[in-house]
Each structure stands twice: as structure tokens, then as C-alpha cells.
Amino acid sequence: MVTSRRSLRLPHFSDFEPGWVWLVGAGPGDPGLLTLLAHHALGEADVVVYDALVDDSILELARDGAELIYAGKRGGKPSPKQPDISQRLVSLARSGKRVLRLKGGDPLVFGRGGEEALSLVDAGIPFRIVPGITAGIGGLAYAGIPATHRDTNHTVTFITGHMAGGDMTDGIDWRSVAGFGQSVVIYMALKHLRAITGELLAGGMAASTPVAIVSRAATAHQRVLETELGAAADDAEAAAIEAPAIVAVGQVVRLRAGLDWMGAMEGRLLDSNPLGHDTERDVG
Ligand code: SAH
């Protein structure tokens, strides 16, 4: 008989040294999607500086007595300025604290983690980076949508729908994105969804291109709206889809009919072949 010794098999993690900042991704929501290193850091940190996108169930894993500092938007008030957050990290580290900077998803994907890390470099503060599961991959997986699938796409483009000031992202050649004709995953898309879908349509993507909008992915409040490019903005409005939401555009969305494992757990039937042909034809 084999006896499990899993509990003894946790690796030895680096010490979280006083005066260090760990820049850590919290994943899209479900605490089960934290990395072991993120969990370790939560158990060691003196102070956790967290963003709006970090789920409360994750903060509950912080060490008893750890100070929790909120650094996101709340109640429509303007968010703290980025230089202020960076400065705060620097002064907490200089005061000898173990500082955990916890960000939703992956800290380096549309999360300004790079900017914060550069400020730490400038200030001579030692730091480490712990990647997390980004919403554009893990959040979609919780809706049964793969980032890539051999029969539908060989590329995936990650785009942010708006810039620091809230305006629609400029400098993106939406037509060439559309011209790729493959998967497009858009973060922060809700505010400018009409304009973004309009650009993709103008760029030649068919109005019938499948779209999924996954709101509050990987949390207890996850909601998925399936629609098409031509109708997405109206449908999102009518369904009052809430942020944060991740938008997937492309044929890969059709796989959800077969891969919505969460729906299957709730008893919904799955379509074994949503692409309508033999996906296994050239296993080789
Ligand atoms: N660093 C984060 C992204 C920050 S930008 C990451 O890697 O996931 C914020 C955007 O991320 C949101 O507007 C939304 O588009 C997306 N997002 C983050 N968490 C999400 C979640 N649980 N469900 C859906 N979208 C999410």
C-alpha cells in the first residue's frame, strides 16, 4: 500500500527577508489558483499592499496580525496615484518590513507591476517577482475557453482596452489585429466595448465571430455572456455585465459548448464536438 506523504513534500521556499518587497500575482480569484510561493508569502509578510482585484478569500490567508493596506479604487474615489503606491512600498521596505505587493492575476500583465519594480530598483530595494495566473488565460479556462486550440487558432493577442487615464488604448492597429483572424483577448474592455468591437468589425472580422464576456471569472460571482462580435456591445449593456470582465473574441469561444466544466458540474449537458468536425483527425 502506498501512503501519501504529500504534506512533507512542500519545497523549501526562500525566506521572506525583512526589508524586501515581493511582487506577487494573486490569480483571477479562486484562492486555489494561487501559487505555492504566493501562499508562502502571505504566511510570512508583515504588510500586504493589495489591489481591488484581489479576492477577499485570498486576503484571509495572510498571517494573523499582518497589516493589510488597500491600494485600489473604492466607491468611485480616484485610485491612489501610481508614484504614491511605489513610494509607499519603498518606505515600508525601508522601515524593515516584509512587504507583499499583491496584484490580481499576474503582476506583469497589464498590472503596472513592471513600473513598481522599476521604482524599487531606483530606490535600491531588493525584491522578487512571483508570477500569477492571468485572467486572460485562467479566467477564460474557468469559462471553458482555451487560450489556444489546434483547430481554431495558433496565435492569441492580448490587448488592454484602455490606458492609464481611462481613454481607449491608442497606438493599436486594430485592423491588423482583426486581420490576424485568430483569438483576441481583451482586458479592461467593457468601457470601450462598442468602439473596440467597431474597430474589429471595420478591420474585417465577421459580425458573427463568437465572443464571450467573462465577468468576475474564477469567483463565486462568475458570469459568462456568449454573443457575437456584431451584437456584443448591445448584449453586454442589456445583460448589465459587471467589471472586471475579460472578453474573448474568436472561434475558440465555440469550444465552451464542450468544455464548460463548471456548467457540467451544475448539470448542464456538454456538446462533445462543438466545432462540428473530428478534432482528433491527425493525431500524430
Ligand atoms: N494583472 C491582471 C490584469 C489587470 S488589468 C491579470 O493578469 O489578470 C484588469 C483587468 O483584468 C480587468 O479589467 C479585467 O479585464 C481583467 N480581470 C482581472 N481579473 C478578472 C476576473 N476575475 N474576471 C474577469 N476579468 C478579470
| Three-class secondary structure assignment of 179-215 | HHCCEEEEECCCCCHHHHHHHHHHCCCCCCCEEEEEE
200 CB less than 6 Å from ligand 1?
A: no
- pTM for this prediction: 0.92
Cell of 195: 468602439
Q: Which tops the pLDDT comparison, 79 or 93?
A: 93
User: Is residue 146 located within the same domain as residue 252?
Assistant: yes
Q: Within a domain: residue 10?
A: no
- pLDDT score for 3: 62
3-class DSSP assignment, residue 151:
coil
| Number of structural domains the chain divides into | 2
User: Is residue 129 located within the same domain as residue 35?
Assistant: yes
Residue 48 pairs with which residues in a beta bridge?
68, 100
User: Is residue 103 located within the same domain as residue 182?
Assistant: no
Lowest mean pLDDT among 40-54, 118-132, 171-185, 235-249: 171-185
User: Is residue 25 located within the same domain as residue 61?
Assistant: yes
Strands 183-187 and 47-50: unpaired
Residue 27 CA to ligand 1 centre (angstroms): 9
Q: Within a domain: residue 2?
A: no
User: Is residue 97 located within the same domain as residue 163?
Assistant: no
Domain with 60 in it: 21-133
What is the mean predicted confidence (pLDDT) over 216-227?
Answer: 97
245 CB less than 6 Å from ligand 1?
A: yes
139 CB less than 6 Å from ligand 1?
A: yes
Question: Nearest CA to 100 among 27, 23, 16?
Answer: 23
List the Cα angle 142/223/155 in 5-degree steps. 45
CATH number at residue 32: 3.40.1010.10
Confidence of residue 7 (pLDDT cuts 50, 70, 90): low
List CB contacts of 250: < 8 A, sequence separation 6 or more: 152, 153, 182, 183, 184, 209, 210
Decide if pLDDT at 164 tops 90: no
Lowest mean pLDDT among 55-69, 103-117, 165-179, 198-212: 165-179
- pLDDT score for 282: 44
Q: Which of 133, 168, 201 is the last residue in one of the domains?
A: 133
With pLDDT > 70 as the criterion, what percentage of the chain qualifies?
Answer: 91
Q: Which tops the pLDDT comparison, 51 or 162?
A: 51
Q: Within a domain: residue 271?
A: no
What is the mean predicted confidence (pLDDT) over 235-255?
Answer: 97
Q: Which of 88, 112, 133 is the last residue in one of the domains?
A: 133
CATH number at residue 258: 3.30.950.10
Confidence of residue 120 (pLDDT cuts 50, 70, 90): very high
Decide if pLDDT at 74 tops 70: no
Q: Where are the alpha helices (DSSP H) in the chain?
A: 36-44, 56-59, 82-94, 113-123, 140-141, 174-180, 193-202, 232-238, 256-259, 261-265
- pLDDT score for 170: 81
Confidence of residue 51 (pLDDT cuts 50, 70, 90): very high
Decide if pLDDT at 81 tops 90: no
Cell of 154: 495558433
Is residue 110 left, alpha or beta, with left meaning phi > 0 and alpha meaning psi from -120 to 50?
Answer: left
Ligand 1 atom closest to 108 (CA): 1
Question: Nearest CA to 42 among 29, 56, 60, 20?
Answer: 60
Ligand 1 atom closest to 132 (CA): 7
Residue 282 CA to ligand 1 centre (angstroms): 35
Decide if pLDDT at 189 tops 60: yes
Question: Nearest CA to 76 among 234, 243, 246, 245?
Answer: 243
167: annotated active-site residue? no
- pLDDT score for 6: 60
